[in-house]
Structures are given as structure tokens and as C-alpha cells.
Amino acid sequence: MSKFIFITGGVVSGIGKGICGASIGRLLKDRGLSVFMQKFDPYINVDPGTMSPYQHGEVFVTKDGAETDLDLGHYERFIDEELTQRSNVTTGRIYSEVIRKERRGDYGGSTVQVIPHITDRIKSYVYKAAEESKADIIITEIGGTVGDIESLPFIEAIRQIHAENKKEDVLFIHTTLVPKIPGSDELKTKPTQHSFKELMSQGIKTNIIVVRSEEKISEEIKNKISLFCDVPKRAIVQSENVNLIYEVPLKLHEQGLDEYILHKLCLSGQPVLKDDWKVMIENFKNVKDELEIGLVGKYVQLHDAYLSVSQALIDAGYSNGHKVNLHWINSEEITEQNCEEVLKDLDGIIVPGGFGGRGIEGMIATSKYAREKNIPYFGICLGMQIAIIDIARNLCGLEGADSTQKDPNPKYPVIDLMKNQIDVEDIGGTLRLGNYDCKLLENSKVKELYKEDIIKERHRHRYEFNNDFKEDLEKEGVIFSGINPELGLVEIIEYTKTDYFVACQFHPEFKSRPNKIHPLFNGFIKASICNKNK
Ligand code: GLN
């Protein structure tokens, strides 16, 4: 029997509900409970897969191929559990499922309505998550801000879940902002009071309030919130601003949040918090050396577009004793002429994923520069395709080599649409998504890093390396060190004539954890440190 925690947000968006939920997940897991997490997003897109990175930031991919909100990345990194299709549900998905059922005649002639049909469908995702994961605790974050029109059915659904279950099995946590008024230097609780009232008017009485604020909130502020929002003072905690997001669970723990949650859920008697997380943070904080890593992409104006990649780099840096200084470099501004100037001070270069043709030439120039100057290169997805185009053009003499995503009719289509993608019409949900096997080559760098024969990694792409050009590349020192056994599709390449040049078709960043760094991020960071000390 699972218990349910629902997290809502008040006042403004972007106050770190996701990190708050992930932190609570971490704390409960450390207390010996099993945890599953999910996020409900009230927008109409069926999933974020079709949204621009500028709109939505990174699309996080689960092992079973769901394209999801980037908060799931926080969840996985904090709680170290692989989430699933059940973990991200949007209004669009709920409605399309209900409408499909209606067309099939599943509703037996009744009028299909928001209540109960839409709310039932939403609830089914919570209950199914409990059934399938068998976790002790299901944590569900409701995206958006309380008071939004579009989140009403979700709020109603969680109200019903509260009504259907025992009091001690359902807990509501509300995150709010206590703003400071410019000039008067005063912290204001009124927006929190209003947001509490708004939730009350929708039938939900919050049990816990997590406050964000510019500065530390006083006892007086807590007293006020406690009085107006009818929660005991120990149920009000602050999620302080920290340098390392991984500190948030500890800060919440110091204020007794996990203790209080267990008490409310009648789960007292659980083992006390483990020390590992604390030790990890201490180690991260004591790091003295620095490392300069360039991230060359075309969505660099919005760092969230590369959230898991940047987090994995930073975490890998810390765990190897270095603070990573990330240089966000817009590939559209790179040319073969200015490469030297832009990239010369970097210890390592990463080219992450991306779509379309814009900014590609700058990435190709980057790959060439990294090869020629023996700077560690790490290509992910598009970054692997880029490396292949570079090597084909500049070493194999295949002038005019390109990806058919950029140029539909290149002289040498070294990157081409996957065969099973040719007839695909819809763009939503049709990429090659989620886990696929990859067999590693003996005596390769990646074999050394993974220490395994077959690995499983998550994917999100439509194009692949065209195997017709294998020999051309091999002659110039490329090895194909990871192959998908079913399709023969190239998953990893290495260029062997420099110290470190590894690129993969999959997205390793989704599987890296602060306390369990992904082998490819480890390998790249270690190589960059070597390069720096050379
Ligand atoms: N655009 C490329 C493809 O579809 C790479 C995708 C990616 O980097 N995620 O194959």
C-alpha cells in the first residue's frame, strides 16, 4: 500500500517545486522507504517532445522512451530510480486518451465530462504508478501555479484522492514565495496567504508549506504564515538558496521536514538519515582545482536546454576533484577562422544533442579543431553525427559529406534517416526513443570505461551513421566501439589518433547521478584534467 504526497506551487512559477519534490524523495529514500515520482503538466501538448528547447528546456527521456519534463531529471538524479511513462502526464495526454475511449464507445452512452472522466483518468495515473512501482511513497508534483485555469482538473483529482484514502495516507505540500518589497526591505507573507486560500477554495488544505525567499525567514514570518494558513509552525520550512542544489535535502532535513512528513504519514520509527549524501556534498565543497569545459551548441542562450548534460559535467568534475567552469559557446558564432580564438583555453569540449541544420557548421569546425589540437572531445547524439561529418570531410576526402537532416541531397550522406523512419508522418513521439542495447568493442576506450560487454542507454534521434562509409572512416583511425546488435547501428565512435575523442549516438547524461557518475562523463572529465595538466 503506497502513501501519496502531492506538491503544488503558489505565487509564481519557477520557485523550485521540482527540486523540492526531488529533495523530499531523497530524504524519504534515505530513511529506508521506496519512492516513485511523477509530474503532472497542465499544458495541451501530449508530451514536451515537440516543444522548442527555448520554450521548454531539455526533454528528459526515460528508459521506456517517454519524452518528459526536465524535472524528471532532478528526480532521477536525487532519488536514483529509473522513472517511466507513468512519471509525466499532461492535459493533452489525458484528453487524447479519454477522447479515444469515447470514440471506441467505452463510456456506454454517457456524457463525457471533466468530472468524473478527466479526473478519473488523472487519478488512474497516480494509482497505477502505485500499483506498478509498489513504492512506499508516490510523490506527485503538479506543474504550474495554483489558480491557473488549466490546472483545475489536476487539483480536483488530487482532492478526490485525499477523499478516497485514509487521512494519514495523503499529504499536501505547498511551495510558495515570500517576496521582499524593493526599498522597504520587508518580507511579505500576503501572497502565501492568498495562495493558501486559493487552494482551500479548491478543497485542499495544505499540510506543509515550503517557502522560498531571498533571505532567511524569521520566526515572526513563520508565526504569521502559521496563523493565517492554519499549519503548525514546524510544518513551515524554508528551502534556502544554496550553491549546490544537492544541499537542498540537507537544509530541509535540518529543519525537521522528513521527520514531520513521517509523523504525518504515520511512518515514524523509520531508520535515520544516511550519511552518504552529506559526505558527497562535503567532498564537492572541498574541491580546489578548476576545469574549463566548452559546451558548443545552438541553444546555449537557455542553459536549461542542456540541463542534464551540464549537471552531469559539473557532478563529474566535482567527483574528480575539480570545479567545472562551463563555457556556453554558440555554435552559430564559430567558424574555422575564429575557432582558435574561441576554443583555445578549453581543457575539454563537448558537443551535445540538437536538431535541424542551424549552427551545424560551427560544430563541425569545433570537432576539427579538437582533433587537430588534441583537445578531449565528447560528442552526444548530434555531437557524434558532427564528428562523423568532420572526419568524412576533412580526413577521408569526402568533400560535401553531410547529414540529410541538414541537406536532403548531399554528395556523401554520411548521416541519414533511419530506415524505419522513412514513412513516419507525425513528429510527436516517433523518434527512436528510450533504452536500446549496445555491444562494446574489445580494447576500446569505452570498454575500459564501462567494464561491461553490453550496455543499455537511452536514445532520442531519427538519423544515424550510414554504414556504407564505415571503411572510409576506419582507414583514418576511427573505431566503431559500440554497435546495436539488432540493427547494426553505430552507437559509439572513437577517433584513435588523439588522446581522447569519444562520441555516442545515445544520451548518457540521463543516467549520470551525482553519487554515481556515468562512465562516459567520468572518462571525458578525467581526460580533460590530463589535458589541463599536460
Ligand atoms: N538531430 C539528430 C537526429 O535526429 C540528433 C538528435 C539529438 O541530438 N537528440 O538524429
CB atoms within 10 A of CB 368: 20
Q: Measured in angstroms, how far is the CA atom of residue 335 from the centroid of ligand 1?
A: 22
CATH 3.40.50.300 is right for the domain spanning 3-279: yes
For helices 219-229 and 190-201, give the axis angle rounded to 10 degrees.
20
Tell me the pTM. 0.94
159 within 8 A of 204, measured Cβ to Cβ: yes
> Is the per-residue pLDDT at 269 higher than 80?
no
- What pLDDT, in 10s, does the model give residues 309-345? 999 999 999 999 999 999 999 999 999 999 999 999 9
Catalytic-role residue among 381, 396, 438, 504:
381
> Is the per-residue pLDDT at 381 higher than 90?
yes
- Active-site residue flag, 381: yes
- Active-site residue flag, 247: no
Angstrom distance (rounded) from CA 55 to CA 96: 22
3-state secondary structure of 301: coil
User: Which DSSP letter does residue 50 get?
Assistant: G
- What pLDDT, in 10s, does the model give residues 336-377? 999 999 999 999 999 999 998 899 999 999 999 999 999 999
**Which helix H or strand E contains 29, and what residues bound it?**
helix 17-30
> Is the per-residue pLDDT at 82 higher than 90?
yes
349 closest CA partner among 528, 217, 477: 528
The pLDDT value given to residue 271 = 80
Ligand 1 neighbourhood includes 93 CB (under 6 angstroms): no
- What pLDDT, in 10s, does the model give residues 452-503? 999 999 999 999 999 999 999 999 999 999 999 999 999 999 999 999 999 9
The pLDDT value given to residue 422 = 87
> Is the per-residue pLDDT at 411 higher than 80?
yes
Angstrom distance (rounded) from CA 511 to CA 123: 29
CATH of 288-533 given 2.50.20.10, 3.40.50.880, 3.40.50.1000, 3.40.50.10580: 3.40.50.880
The pLDDT value given to residue 268 = 76
In the numeric block, the cell 526591505 is attached to 185
3-state secondary structure of 3: strand
Q: Which of 60, 460, 505, 510 to mutate to test the pocket of ligand 1 (most atoms within 8 A of CB)?
A: 460
- Active-site residue flag, 229: no
In this structure, the dihedral spanned by the alpha carbons of residues 284, 286, 289 and 290, taken in order and rounded to 10 degrees, is 40
In this structure, the dihedral spanned by the alpha carbons of residues 308, 312, 315 and 318, taken in order and rounded to 10 degrees, is -140
- What pLDDT, in 10s, does the model give residues 181-235? 888 888 999 999 999 999 999 999 999 999 999 999 999 999 999 999 999 999 9
Confidence of residue 108 (pLDDT cuts 50, 70, 90): very high
Angstrom distance (rounded) from CA 294 to CA 348: 6
Mean pLDDT across the chain, nearest whole number? 95
Ligand 1 neighbourhood includes 462 CB (under 6 angstroms): yes
Catalytic-role residue among 141, 162, 509, 518:
509
Percent of the chain with pLDDT over 90: 90
What phi, psi does 152 have (nearest 5°)? -55, -50
**Domain boundary assignment for the chain:** 3-279, 288-533
> Is the per-residue pLDDT at 251 higher than 90?
yes
> Is the per-residue pLDDT at 270 higher than 80?
no
Sign of CA dihedral 282, 283, 289, 290: negative
